[in-house]
Structure 1
Amino acid sequence: MNPDLDLTLQRTIRAPRAAVWAAWTDPDRFAKWFIPAPMVCRVDRLEARPGGALVTRMSEDGVAFVPHVDAIFLVVDDPERIVFTNAIDSAWRPALPAPVPMTAEIVLADHPEGTDYRVVVRHGDPSAREQHEKLGFFEGWGLVTTQLAQSVE
């Protein structure tokens, strides 16, 4: 972890690791928590394997959906670790995603109270990290982590 380039979040989720893993890898479960409510998430593709696509759309009204994430999975180590990036899109083309390119690593470990949930979001330079933080990384990722926990606890 490089504090100049990375943003992190850690929580204890009071549910078995298998339940948290399923929430990350099952499209129907994923759609229930991945975007801060009251926004609605639609999963177009969730192929939880290295090189697989992660494509979502979002909606304020549940009717009109706009692009949200177009990414690929780099690492999928069941049931411990998921790494994805939006710097390469689901067609395996280099991308310049808005608001910032990033690589996210999610690590799950057993914890006496459930699951130790850790996120590291890596950025290519300090300005991208700073921009992501200013845009609300802690609030946004914190809220979806709370929603994830509520969906599995």
Structure 2
Amino acid sequence: MNPDLDLTLQRVIRAPRATVWRAWTDPSRFAKWWIPAPTVCRVDRLEARPGGALLTRMSDDGAAFVPHMDAIFLVADDLERLVFTNAVDSAWRPATPQPVAMTAEITFADHPDGTDYRILVRHGDPAARARHEHLGFLDGWGTVTSQLAKEVEQ
């Protein structure tokens, strides 16, 4: 972790690691928590494997959907780690995503109370990190992490 380039979030989710992993890798489950409510998520592709696509859209009214995330998975270590980037799109083309290019690493580990869930988001330069933080990294990723926890802790 480089504090000049990276942002992090950690939480214990009170659910088994396999359940949290499924919420990340099953498109119908992923759509329930991936975007802060009340915005609605539609998953066009979620292929949790190296080179697989992560393609989502969002809607404020549930009818008109606009692009949200167009990324690829770089790593998918079953039940342990997912890494994806939006700097390359789902068609394997270099991208200039808005609002910021990033590589996100999600790790899942056993914890006595459930799953030790950690997010590390890497940026290419300090300005991109600062922009992501200013735009609400902790609020956005924190909200979807809370939504994920609510979904799997039931």
Pick the TM interval, shorter chain. over 0.9
Q: Which runs of 5+ in 2 are unaligned?
A: none
**CA distance in structure 1 between the aligned counterparts of 2:121 and 2:40, rounded to whole angstroms:** 23
Shift of 1:152: 0.2
2:100 partner letter: V
Letter of the 2:73 partner, please give it: F
1:3 is matched with which residue?
3
Mapped to 1, the partners of 2:140 and 2:133 lie a distance apart of 10
Query: What residue is the counterpart of 2:99 in the other structure?
Result: 99
Aligned counterpart, 2:150: 150
SS in 1 for 2:124: coil
Gaps (5+ residues) in structure 1? Answer: none
Percent of pairs identical after alignment? 79
Cα deviation code 1:43-102 (max 9, x no counterpart): 000011000000000000000000000000000000000000000000000000000000
Q: TM-score, normalised by structure 2?
A: 0.99
Measured after TM superposition, the shift of residue 108 of structure 1 is 0.3
Given the alignment of the two structures, is residue 12 of structure 1 paired with residue 12 of structure 2, yes or no?
yes
Which residue of 1 is the match for residue 59 of structure 2? 59
After superposition, give the CA deviation of every residue in 1:83-131 in whole Å (9 maximum; x if it has no partner). 0000000000000000000000000000000000000000000000000
Q: Secondary structure at the match of 1:120?
A: strand
Aligned to 1:28: 28
Q: Which runs of 4+ in 1 moved over 6 A?
A: none
RMSD: 0.2
